Amino acid sequence: MNGESLLAGIRVLDLTNVLSGPFATVHLALLGAEVIKIENPAGGDLARKLGCVPGFNRKLMGTSYLAQNANKKSMTLNLKTPEGKEIFRTLVKGADVLVENFRPDVMKRLGLAYDVLAGINPRLIYCAISGFGQTGPDALKPAYDQIIQGLSGEMAINGDERLHPLRSGFPVCDTVGGLNAAFAVMAALYGRERTGEGQFIDVALLDSIMPLMGWVVANLMIGGQQPVLMGNENFTAAPSGVFRTRDGYINIAANKQEQWESVADVLGLPELKADARFRERDDRKKNRKELTPLLEEKLMQGETAAWVEKLNDSDVPAGAILTLEGAVHQPQVAHRDAFATVAVPGIGDLRVFNLTAKFSKTPARVTAPPPALGEHTRDLLGEIGYTEEDVSRLKEAGVV
């Protein structure tokens, strides 16, 4: 198996749009699965029109789309037409996985619900991603990432007393929902190896974000402690958070007693180690507002890079706070091959995400650019017996 893609031979029908679903399926595509985007002929995935480059949007290759659709194929198919449904059912016969992120009633209304498709292919793994799940009092409500951020409590624990509630700077609920779905599909594929049977997977964005708040939720549900709005401070330790330097800011995470003592020594403040306000962990947490100015007075006498080096040399976790541009171009990110260069026809060479998990025997890689809308329709229809004349007729009828 050395060198072969981990999911070679696995076919995925991807009916997803925008972020949560495409983020799930791009992980499967990078692992070597054949991921076929089934897109409506009238514009396809909405993300094709979303992004900061209007010219790309007009080409239906928006930056939002380009970010999570490498290694996939695109096939246009109108699932509201009888022939479109017939073609889709034929594709299901040879598929291993189906992923969709419609509202829970959409596939049922199309006559393509899991029970119907499982009758065609009992080995099919069907993953449905939605805001609230397939059942329950809120199941049919519309949901975007920001709605879930608010309903999950995630916005309520961000910020400080001045800026609150506070939305995460990227669509964290959509993204983690996609990761949850990819994880679930991989588990179901493993289970199918033992049982020979597929199954239905119900992934909700609201459910998916909850475990990410584990410590905060545990403090509330187990310890009875309400979350405290602390901005850039770490509620578990002090000094642990963001501090000013001469030329910017630095993150310091002195979460252990010996790390705190090293911070005091590196900053030339050894007397603070014996100060009753700061001697023990819980005392420092209670008196962090008194401690921070004392540390910043010293930190502002030097530059961030120098302090990072001195603190790291003393086994204290510390790091600069980079701009996004600085972050994506830092040497460690380059060393880890977090991005790959891919040539996109009509656009040029672009940097897109690689799989961030590194496999020693089955490395994942970007092998193809995000596809143009319907780029593979003719080839895929040809595989299941449709002629060029058939394809032309289907196009005329608005089926593809």
> Do residues 276 and 283 make contact, with C-beta atoms less than 8 angstroms apart?
yes
Please state which of the four CATH numbers 2.130.10.10, 3.40.47.40, 3.40.47.10, 3.40.50.10540 is assigned to the domain occupying 11-212+336-396.
Answer: 3.40.50.10540
**What is the per-residue pLDDT across 47-75, written as a single tens digit (0 to 9) for each?**
999 999 999 999 999 999 999 999 999 99
User: Quick check: 3 pLDDT over 70?
Assistant: no
Query: Residue 234: pLDDT band by 50, 70, 90 thresholds?
Result: confident
Active site residues: 174
**What is the per-residue pLDDT across 152-168, written as a single tens digit (0 to 9) for each?**
999 999 998 889 999 99
- Parse the chain into domains and list their residue ranges: 11-212+336-396, 249-320
Antiparallel, parallel or unpaired: β 11-14 and 34-39: parallel
Torsion over CA: 25, 29, 33, 39 (sign): positive
* Mean pLDDT calculated for residue range 96-103: 97
What percentage of the chain has pLDDT greater than the value 70? 99
231: left (phi over 0), alpha (psi -120 to 50) or beta: left
Q: What is the pLDDT of residue 230?
A: 85
User: Quick check: 263 pLDDT over 70?
Assistant: yes
Q: Which fold has domain 249-320?
A: formyl-coa transferase, domain 3 (3.30.1540)
CA distance 188 to 182: 10
> Do residues 214 and 182 make contact, with C-beta atoms less than 8 angstroms apart?
no
User: Residue 231 contacts by C-beta under 8 Å, 6 or more apart in sequence?
Assistant: 159, 160, 163, 241
Q: What is the pLDDT of residue 102?
A: 96
Q: What is the pLDDT of residue 30?
A: 97
Q: How many CB atoms within 10 Å of residue 135?
A: 11
**What is the per-residue pLDDT across 337-373, written as a single tens digit (0 to 9) for each?**
999 999 999 999 999 999 999 999 999 999 999 999 9
Query: Residue 318: pLDDT band by 50, 70, 90 thresholds?
Result: very high
Q: What is the pLDDT of residue 1?
A: 47
* Mean pLDDT calculated for residue range 258-262: 97
Lowest mean pLDDT among 55-59, 73-77, 147-151, 229-233: 229-233
Residue with tokens 């998990």, as numbered in its chain: 357
**What is the per-residue pLDDT across 72-90, written as a single tens digit (0 to 9) for each?**
999 999 999 999 999 999 9
